[in-house]
Amino acid sequence: MEKTNNFLFSGKYCGLKKNKALDLGLMISKVPLRVSAVFTKNKIKAAPVVISKKNSKNIIKALIVNSGNANACNGKYGFEDAKRVALSVAKKTGADESNIFICSTGLIGERLDASKIERAVNELAEYASGEESGFNDFAEAIMTTDTFSKTSFKDVLLNGAKYKIFGTAKGSGMIMPNMATMLAFIFTDIPIEKEIADEMFKECIGESFNSITVDGETSTNDTAAFFYPAENPLIKKRGANYNAAKAALSDLCLDLAKMIVKDGEGATKFVRVTVKNAYTESGAKKIALTVANSPLFKTMITGEDLNWGRIMAAVGRASVPLKSDKIDIYINDKIIVENSAASKKLTKAIEETVLSPDEIELTIDLKCGKKSRSVLTCNFTREYIDINASYRS
């Protein structure tokens, strides 16, 4: 990562995590920013989500993120504590609390000790830098059960000049964003008009973060945010610059989304479920998610036991219009099912080896329309149970 001119980052341990890992990240901008953001559609929203959704209409000067505590389901105290955090950052950066974007992730239902964050803000701000080390500390500070920090970097040429888009995300369990415990923060030095950036980001989200699932759970804190300079927008409408910027943003979002799935709690296999030739794209996605979220399918992948009837049952359970006797199923380009029955090409050797790779491509051909959609997921292992059986303790 090259040094950033406008964005300063830092991360430190402030006392929220029991394991003393970094648990507080800060971004300070040297220029006024706009933010395009999508938030959880869960009816129960954490206090930081409510506050940041409101503040996302304003100029943004800083971003503060804590891990180790979700600050969700804490009633009025959740909002009081979130506002204390935002105010401490505002005072340090010379901004108003309405110019602060705030996020939390971690245990739900435990009150956030805002005083620990307040005491750490001065040092966070003092050591914030545009160097790679600062961004890496920020990326590490937002992690919960993640086993590695997730970052991606892209360059894009606009009018002969090189611009940067870069970002980080966290997520490992409780993942099926519906708008990201998923958080994603993306930054660029490309000035973009807010309306067009909103449009661009939502399209990219649909193809990436909203097309992944680890366990079918939508968090109270899911947030994905895209920060960009507010003044003198270079991109004001669709066109060549818009297309180039969107392509880079889309690739970056997909990079981060894949990392989340590959880091799924206890996961050992990465799976892409593609439903093609459906009547509608929404129907294709619904079937893909039904299969991807099926515990029977996910454990089948772990056991490498080709019980393909579980796939057929999940397809039918999605209650999407289809021709029930016309379905073909492929795994890693090997045909398993033809016209909703076992393929004559399905040999014993294929059955024994087709699920052995670490990355699996499952294609379900409905043969009744022209629409397609893919979803990314992973398998379930005993480690997923172990992690979540003792998460609070």
Which residues fall within 8 angstroms of residue 281, CB to CB, at 6 or more apart? 371, 372, 373
Pick from 314, 367, 379: nearest CA to 338? 367
| Beta strands 359-365; 270-278: pairing state | parallel
Inter-residue contact 67 to 143 (CB < 8 Å):
yes
| φ, ψ (nearest 5 deg) of residue 36 | -105, 125
| DSSP class per residue in 240-272 | HHHHHHHHHHHHHHHHHHHHHHHT-TT---EEE
For 120, the 3-state DSSP assignment is helix
Neighbours of 325 (CB within 10 A): 9
Q: Which of 40, 181, 223, 377 is catalytic?
A: 181
For the question of residue 268 being annotated catalytic, the response is no
CA angle 19, 23, 27 (to 5 degrees): 160
Inter-residue contact 378 to 213 (CB < 8 Å):
no
Inter-residue contact 371 to 280 (CB < 8 Å):
yes
Region at 307 (left for phi over 0; alpha for psi -120 to 50; beta for the rest): beta
Among all residues, which ones are annotated catalytic? 181
